[in-house]
């Protein structure tokens, strides 16, 4: 009907033009709108029709609807295929996608539905269970679907699951330009180490305000150690060297110098470490030790030990005398969970028994001979 009206308007415009041309030839003067009674309304309608044609690029309403419908269908098909490729090739263990072949598993199909189709749906959890059932019914024992089965899932099953009168076109529109999200995962881009400033070290970390690394703090400790003269330290309290020897010889294997493990044990057993993560903790103690030990991995002598003690006191913002007195009064502590070194340990500790010995001694299951002996002993006791 609209097309016929448009053709009628076009014909009337042509007739008006022909009438105007003949009028001009007949009397030799220009024909204006006021010369013809119907010309103004017809020409206005003709101009409106031409403007509509230029705007829509079609020659009629039916043609415009048909062309828009075909164009929209082509875009939706391309959008569904692009979404299939994007989600099927996402993550580890992804399928190899080509123009002719490619499959998608249930987890990636569920991810696509959750992020694109049911993103703002309050009933998404219930509908996702229906999606899993529909996928299993289509995939059967293969557990994967190709593009044709995927298309059926989108246009038929998903449209029914969405409900509220949703059509296949409505569901397919939600897949246009869809890409899988990576959540809080680190982007695998080539600029990742440039963008992630928490991975900076050295001068770059200092320039961007990142906390200094342990290696840098250790390098700052070494010049300070060179400035301390051990000979000018206060007099050692009584028992400092004896305590140093006790920690030096504690537990095998014996070493010529104080190792890092024994140094940390000394700091812990003597109460040098600040509780609650203060200025001097186990990390700070390890940094001071590594700065002084060097390649030997030990504090070679008592002088190096006193230097480490002085740096530790300075780090904890306490006096050297306090640290030296605490070490002199301390001793190695043997933890309660240390195994007994007695040669009869496995005999006396019945919790280590296995097999028949476990049944007899731990579960108190007695042999027939033991039962008869106990029975006779009980009878004799009653008779007495």
- Predicted model pTM: 0.34
Flag whether pLDDT at 239 surpasses 60.
Answer: yes
Element spanning 145, H or E = strand 144-145
CA dist list (Å): 118 to 6, 129, 158, 193, 288: 44, 12, 10, 35, 57
240-248 helix and 320-329 helix, angle to the nearest 10 degrees: 60
Nearest to 80 by CA among 222, 177, 191, 190: 177
Out of 12-26, 79-93, 239-253, 351-365, which region has the weakest mean confidence (pLDDT)?
12-26
Do residues 210 and 197 touch, judged by C-beta distance below 8 A? yes
pLDDT at 40: 54
Query: Residue 212 and residue 205: Cα distance in Å, rounded?
Result: 7
Residue 286: HSE in the Cβ half-sphere, 13 Å Cα cutoff: 6
Most distant CA atoms of the chain, gap in Å: 162
Which DSSP state fits 298?
Answer: E
Q: List Cβ neighbours of 201 (8 Å cut-off, separation of 6 or more).
A: 213
Q: What's the pLDDT band for 254 if we cut at 50, 70, 90?
A: low
pLDDT tens digits, residue range 126-154? 888 888 888 888 888 788 888 888 888 88
Map out the domains of the chain as residue ranges: 2-59, 90-173, 214-329, 345-383
Poorest-pLDDT segment among 69-83, 99-113, 287-301, 318-332: 69-83
Helix 214-227, helix 302-315: angle, nearest 10: 110
Of 145, 5, 169, give the one whose Cα is nearest residue 71. Answer: 169
Q: How do residues 314-339 score in pLDDT, each as one tens digit?
A: 888 888 899 999 999 988 887 766 55
Look up the CATH number of domain 90-173.
Answer: 1.10.238
């Amino acid at each position: 009907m609209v097309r016929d009206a448009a053709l009628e308007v076009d014909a009337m415009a042509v007739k008006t033009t022909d009438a105007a041309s003949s009028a001009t030839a007949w009397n030799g003067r220009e024909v204006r709108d006021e010369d013809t009674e119907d010309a103004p309304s017809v020409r206005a309608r003709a101009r409106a029709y031409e403007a509509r044609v230029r705007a829509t690029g079609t020659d009629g309403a039916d043609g415009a609807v048909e062309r828009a419908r075909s164009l929209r269908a082509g875009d939706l098909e391309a959008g569904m295929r692009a979404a299939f490729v994007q989600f099927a090739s996402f993550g580890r263990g992804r399928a190899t996608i080509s123009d002719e072949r490619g499959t998608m598993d249930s987890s990636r199909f569920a991810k696509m539905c959750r992020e694109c189709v049911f993103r703002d749906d309050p009933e998404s959890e219930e509908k996702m269970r229906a999606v899993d059932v529909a996928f299993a019914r289509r995939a059967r024992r293969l557990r994967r679907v190709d593009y044709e089965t995927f298309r059926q899932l989108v246009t038929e099953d998903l449209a029914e699951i969405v409900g509220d009168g949703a059509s296949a076109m409505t569901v397919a529109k939600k897949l246009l330009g869809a890409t899988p999200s990576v959540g809080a995962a680190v982007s695998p881009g080539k600029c990742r180490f440039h963008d992630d400033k928490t991975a900076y070290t050295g001068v770059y970390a200092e320039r961007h305000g990142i906390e200094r690394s342990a290696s840098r703090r250790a390098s700052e400790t070494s010049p300070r150690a060179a400035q301390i003269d051990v000979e000018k330290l206060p007099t050692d309290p009584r028992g400092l060297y004896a305590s140093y020897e006790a920690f030096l010889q504690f537990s095998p294997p014996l070493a010529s110098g104080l190792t890092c493990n024994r140094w940390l044990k000394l700091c812990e057993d003597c109460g040098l470490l600040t509780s609650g993560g203060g200025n001097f903790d186990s990390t700070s103690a390890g940094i001071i030790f590594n700065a002084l030990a060097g390649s030997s991995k030990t504090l070679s002598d008592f002088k190096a030990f006193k230097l480490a003690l002085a740096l530790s006191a300075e780090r904890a913002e306490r006096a050297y005398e306090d640290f030296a007195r605490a070490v002199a009064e301390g001793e190695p502590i043997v933890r309660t969970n240390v195994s007994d070194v007695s040669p009869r340990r496995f005999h006396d500790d019945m919790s280590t028994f296995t097999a028949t010995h476990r049944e007899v001694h731990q579960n108190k299951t007695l042999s027939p001979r033991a039962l008869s002996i106990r029975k006779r002993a009980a009878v004799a006791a009653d008779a007495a």
